[in-house]
Copies of this chain bind each other. A is one copy, B any other.
Amino acid sequence: MDSPAVLQQLMTFRVAVPSWALGAGGTRFGRFTIGGEPRNLQEKLDDVAAINRMTGANRAVSLHVPWDLPDDPGGFREYAAHLGLGFDAMNSNTFQDHPDTTRQGAISYKFGSLAHTDATVREAAIEHNLSVIELGRLLGSTALVLWLADGTNYPGQASLRGQFERVASGLHEIHRHLPADWRLLIEHKPFEPAYFASVNNDWGSSLLLAQAAGDRALCLVDLGHHLPNANVQQVVSRLAMTGRLGGFHFNDAAYGDDDLTAGSIQPYRLFLVMLELLEIGDGRMPGLSYMLDQSNNLKDPIEDLIQSTDALQVALAQALCVDRVQLAASQQANDPARSAELLNDGFRMDVRPLVAEARVRNGGAERPLETFRASGYRKHCIEERGAAARSTGL
């Protein structure tokens, strides 16, 4: 194993923090506040900077509109730059009704946005997405993530094909307005909130939608957005093969879209995804959008994001330690026992020293969770922002 090369690659890995993960998350059954949650956009950036001081790998934030609307985008961008942060993909929202996205309540997304039977609703949804792109341009972002809640709860509720074609058409329209250096990232999910048929329910649908949208439309893979027993490594391989793999929402899940800490349930699956990414990049991580997407119901959100970032670094380091040349030979020779040994050689290695070294060289902490706790940051936030401060989030 070539440690310096592994270290070099670990040091260049970056993963963005989603603004909605900085407050306590929840389920439809309730939400428990953590205390000292960010009250505004600046404080969200402060938290991301705090995370990055521990990990050295979280240098961008992914915003969620309409909740993240800076009054002064230019000033906000400067504030971020001052903290050493940039803006990864923007996220629009049409799964809730908010005055800013529903023409002040004139329309509703209850029965869909881009899939809606009513052209006025579809236009409002497009309009909202274009405004998010416009904001993103001012902030220096170059991508828009579109996860749509569109779908049906009951058989017969809508024409499955009609809904799909309307979404495809809407995406095409949004893509038409995409700045030349932007990418449209389309995210699929099998269910929730649609409980019978989601429009963009799987990678196959996502691929068709990306193809319908245009050249710069790519597919985003959220690790928790798959049916039971799905092989996520394979999904990644398929999308890469078609040239439409655009990025990731990292997290982990045991049942549905559980939004748990990356690597906390199936770390080996995360390792296999990293291995596939190295296969795609021929030994290097391909230049995709890497983002976290979690809902932190029980852990302190900052601690949860630190642990997720750490788990990604560990999995990447393990994947980098696999001898890909020998693996290719073993695959060619149809030797699954040998191939398993080669994978284990990477996965069973203790890569923590390598990860810690990469982190420290990037300005982070050797032991990020301990260091964060010792810093008293959360306590300070509670004093400053209040125990009842609540951030927007899911």
Q: Which residues of A come within 8 Å of B, CB atoms?
A: 26-30, 32, 95-97, 108-111, 117, 149, 152-162, 164-165, 190-193, 195-197, 201-205, 207-208, 227-231, 233-234, 237-238, 240-242, 253-256, 258, 260-261, 264-269, 272, 275-276, 279, 295, 297-300, 303-304, 307, 314, 327-328, 330-334, 336-343, 347-352, 369, 394
Contacting pair A264 B155 (CB below 8 A): yes
Chain A to chain B: the 10 pairs with minimum beta-carbon distance, closest first: A204-B204, A30-B96, A350-B350, A228-B228, A32-B110, A195-B258, A160-B237, A27-B193, A111-B334, A156-B339
Contact A342 to B156, CB < 8 A, known contacts A30-B97, A337-B307: yes
Evaluate whether A197 and B159 lie within 8 angstroms (CB atoms) in the complex, with A29-B394, A254-B191, A336-B299 already known.
no
| Contact indicator B111/A337 (Cβ below 8 Å) | no
Known: A337-B299, A350-B349. A154 touches B260 (CB 8 A): yes
Contact present for B30 and A195 (CB under 8 Å): no
**How many angstroms between the C-alpha atoms of A180 and B193 in the bound complex?**
42
Across the interface, name the chain B residue whose C-beta is closest to A109: B32
Give bound CA distance, A255 to B256, whole Å: 9
For A117, the chain B residues whose CB sits under 8 A away are: 331-334
| Chain B hits for A95, CB < 8 A | 29-30
User: How many angstroms from the CA of A112 to the CA of B191 in the assembled complex?
Assistant: 27
Residue pair B201, A204 in contact (C-beta under 8 Å): no
Q: How far is the CA of A164 from the CA of B331 in the complex (A)?
A: 14
A331 touches B256 (CB 8 A): no
Specify how many copies of this chain sit in the oligomer: 4
On chain B, the residues within 8 Å of A369 by CB distance are 337-338, 341
From A111, which residue of chain B is reached at the shortest CB distance? B334
A and B contact pairs by CB, cutoff 8 A, 10 listed: A26-B28, A28-B28, A29-B394, A156-B275, A161-B237, A204-B238, A229-B254, A231-B254, A304-B337, A337-B369
Contacts A26-B28, A298-B110 given; does A195 touch B336 at CB 8 Å: no
Partner of A155, one of B96, B227, B265: B265
Q: Knowing that A193-B297, A307-B341, A337-B369 are A-B contacts, what are 11 other residue pairs whose CB atoms are under 8 Å apart, sorted by A's residue number?
A: A27-B28, A154-B298, A154-B339, A156-B339, A164-B241, A195-B254, A195-B255, A266-B269, A267-B347, A300-B337, A349-B350
A229–B204 CB distance below 8 A? no
| One of B32, B191, B279 near A97 (C-beta < 8 A) | B32
A154 touches B348 (CB 8 A): no
Give A159's nearest chain B residue, CB to CB.
B331
Chain B CB within 10 A, most for which of A97, A192, A333: A192
Q: Complex formed: what's the CA distance from A297 to B349 in Å?
A: 28
Tell me if B340 and A261 are in contact (CB < 8 A).
Answer: yes
